[in-house]
Chains A and B, each alone.
Chain A
């Protein structure tokens, strides 16, 4: 027993008592179950386990604080309509937006932020971290931190491009199918069924083995593999719009297919499509990361998070966590996008569980 342990339990129990007094049932349950869990963890993992819990709680509080202030910041700088929507955003969504914002800044200003170039060899391989290198060197002696920053540009950029391609193909075909119907709709439907019944990673591997691992080809292949999902959604959403009276009126007016798609269907199906863009991006991003991890995605010396994990994986057997940082960066972005998408879906559908 030392001062840390005493203060730790005093804070937890004091907090639960306060929560109970002010009838905050949820907070009380959380704090008190944490106290009970701490007894077990303290016995099994000694003091260090309790330290880990307090650090975790501190980080969580920090994240909540960042999310809260970032949401307030966004509300102040945006117009009245957006501000009203933003006020309904839960803290998780605000945190997601903050993470996405950070990644965007990192990606766009990568050459300014990174101290070294992405392929610049500056020290010995696997050199430990010092005042020049925040995270140490990788297997060829390049600065890990710089490569991490450039990875935000390369990996995320590639995933964004592939998602955009999937979207253009899928949404366009989906809307055309909804307007035209008949044989075009039927054939597209069956074709999409077939493409969707092949697991995407396997399909990507098959195509990559044939066309080789060129960046442009990679983007196109992934875009094509993921377009069926977008097609399905667009077809369903547009199918609901097409039966509306105003579409009938526009058709009677003699408007062509392009006019219908651009002026009538697209504006009325944007919100589900934007949410789908976020979800789709997560899938594509994970696939790109997976392929790069397998050595079949973005090719060296371009910095990329998936291949960085693979190349430095030997460090893990020495108990180092640096190879896990790029992987954590991948996970963080997908979680962030998912959180924002959850909120958007909730808002557009008015879904109340």
Chain B
């Protein structure tokens, strides 16, 4: 099988998964005891007002029809109307989604190079005391809830020293550098978690590779250490490293929810939490779909990346 066909098949599979998930997200709300109109108006609502709201929301149509029209809207960015303030969901989400993307990109740009570098270093110094210290440090960072790291950073970098603002308030008129300063602590929180994950995975990938016979051969013929790493190990390490990066970016997408709440950052994660508390279903559905889609796309990118960088697939015999 050639590369193009494998990639196309993987893309198709991703699309199908996305479709199934959109159906799942839409269908979940159908499981609501009663229906949306009932849960909005409460138990005391009369039959007339219920019927009126149902027509307004289009609930009088059968579920598959509503799903298709919701899906058709979602594809072009129209997620219906918020139950709370009647404003279009797309309008509410628009800037917040951009904010979340900004924060995630900020964190990723710091985290990825640092994590890969540290991961390779730790793999080279494996089984020394530094490796063990790094192991415990990363384990602690992974095992801590995001809000723990976030509040520690607030305590030491904001309250005690006053270096950075503790609340990541952003507005339109801010300059780019001001924006970077305001969102530094939330970004750093995510960096800490993601770097730990990535370091451990990179270390495991590299160690796996260094154990293979051809690396030993390179060592035995007398190649210097850096040459073994850059010329022999790295070309085969790209696939696992790309995988690690994409998986952790996908992880960033969910980690962002808690971090946004800690730092009161106006992103899509906080919007989702608010919508869940207030049971604003169109917003919940839209946010969930966006999160799930990003997650799937990143996983897809990981798969395709590792297919494209696999030398065995690129140069078929």
Using a CB–CB cutoff of 8 Å, the interface residues on chain A facing chain B are: 26-27, 29-30, 92, 193-194, 197-203, 205-211, 282, 286, 289-290, 293-296, 306, 309-310, 313, 316-319, 321, 323-324, 327-328, 330-331, 334-335, 338-339, 353
Contacts and interface: CB of A to CB of B under 8 A. Distances in A.
Given A193-B17, A316-B159, A319-B155, A205 B272 contact: yes
5 contacts: A194-B21, A199-B254, A203-B288, A211-B31, A330-B148
Interface in B244-301: 250, 253-254, 257-258, 261, 272-273, 275-277, 279, 281, 284-285, 287-288, 291-292, 295-296, 299
B229 to A, nearest CB: 17
A197 B21 contact: yes
Contact of A327 (B32, B139, B144, B272): B144
Contacts of A289: 145
B127 interface: yes
Given A198-B292, A209-B276, 18 more contacts: A194-B20, A197-B21, A198-B24, A202-B254, A202-B287, A206-B288, A210-B32, A211-B31, A290-B257, A293-B258, A293-B261, A294-B257, A294-B261, A309-B151, A310-B147, A318-B159, A324-B152, A331-B148
B134 interface: no
Nearest to A333: B143
Nearest to B30: A210
A330 B147 CA distance: 11
B221 interface: no
Contact of B166 (A193, A282, A317, A321): A317
Contacts of A324: 148, 151-152, 155
A13 to B, nearest CB: 18
A313 B151 contact: yes
A316 B276 contact: no
Nearest to A204: B276
Nearest to B279: A209
A202 B31 contact: no
Contacts of A197: 17, 21, 292, 295-296, 299
B28 interface: yes
A207 B30 CA distance: 11
Contacts of B159: 316-319
A79 B229 CA distance: 48
B128 interface: yes
A27 B133 CA distance: 12
Interface of B: 17, 20-21, 24-25, 28-29, 31-32, 126-130, 136, 139-140, 142-148, 151-152, 154-155, 159-160, 166, 207, 250, 253-254, 257-258, 261, 272-273, 275-277, 279, 281, 284-285, 287-288, 291-292, 295-296, 299
Contacts of A193: 17
Given A29-B129, A316-B154, A309 B139 contact: no
A316 B292 contact: no
Nearest to B18: A197
A132 B97 CA distance: 48
Q: What does DSSP make chain A's interface, helix, strand, loop or mixed?
A: helix
A324 B24 CA distance: 37
A295 B273 CA distance: 9
Contacts of A328: 148
Contacts of B28: 206-207, 210
**Minimum-distance CB pairs A-B, first 7:** A334-B143, A327-B148, A331-B144, A199-B254, A209-B276, A26-B129, A335-B143
B276 A296 contact: yes
Contacts of A296: 273, 276-277
A353 B127 contact: yes
B257 A335 contact: no
B63 to A, nearest CB: 15
Contacts of A282: 143
Given A30-B129, A194-B21, A205-B273, A327 B257 contact: no
A323 B128 contact: no
Contacts of B261: 293-294
